[in-house]
Amino acid sequence: TQLLEQSPQFLSIQEGENLTVYCNSSSVFSSLQWYRQEPGEGPVLLVTVVTGGEVKKLKRLTFQFGDARKDSSLHITAAQPGDTGLYLCAGPPLNNAGNMLTFGGGTRLMVKP
């Protein structure tokens, strides 16, 4: 079973601070996705990283895929209260023909004004 471990599990910061959350595995993934989930809602896809070493930016969010495609990070610059939510990484298991995803346990972020 390919597992994804996320750290930290919880993060509480002040508005304007920077933060990084991590998603690690001992297995190689062909791609990794990052989702944000707000209370009472389903996860919403933020980005998909496919190539080892790839960096993608989405406004104040920077996503990186590790060179060996076993890990990924999400960096948020100047966090805002609207960034509050559960951040989930997910990837398709190897040798899986469909598009099922394995999810990490999530990082719950709270940004205080």
Partner 1 sequence: DAGVTQSPTHLIKTRGQQVTLRCSPKSGHDTVSWYQQALGQGPQFIFQYYEEEERQRGNFPDRFSGHQFPNYSSELNVNALLLGDSALYLCASSLFMRGTALHFGNGTRLTVT
Closest contact distance (angstroms) between CB of 56 and partner 1 is 14
Residue 98 C-beta: closest distance to partner 1, Å = 5
Residue from the set 53, 96, 110, 112 that interacts with partner 1 by CB under 8 A: 96
Q: What residues from 3 to 62 belong to the interface with partner 1 (CB under 8 A)?
A: 4, 6, 31, 33, 40-45, 48
Please give the Cα distance from 44 to 94 (Å, whole number).
Answer: 23
- For tokens 């989702």, the residue is 35
Which secondary-structure segment (H or E) carries 92?
none
Q: Is 111 exposed, middle or buried (0-12, 13-18, 19+ CB in 10 A)?
A: buried
**Using rule CB under 8 A, residue 103 touches partner 1:** yes
CA terminus-to-terminus distance, the chain:
40
Strands 107-112 and 10-14: parallel
Judged by beta carbon, residue 18 or residue 26, the one nearer partner 1 is 26
Cα–Cα dist 110/88, whole Å: 14
CB of 70 to partner 1, least distance (A): 18
Q: Is 104 in the site for partner 1 (CB under 8 A)?
A: yes
Residue 84 sits in the site that holds partner 1 (CB under 8 A): no
Which residues lie near partner 1 (CB under 8 A)?
Answer: 4, 6, 31, 33, 40-45, 48, 88, 90, 92, 96-106, 108
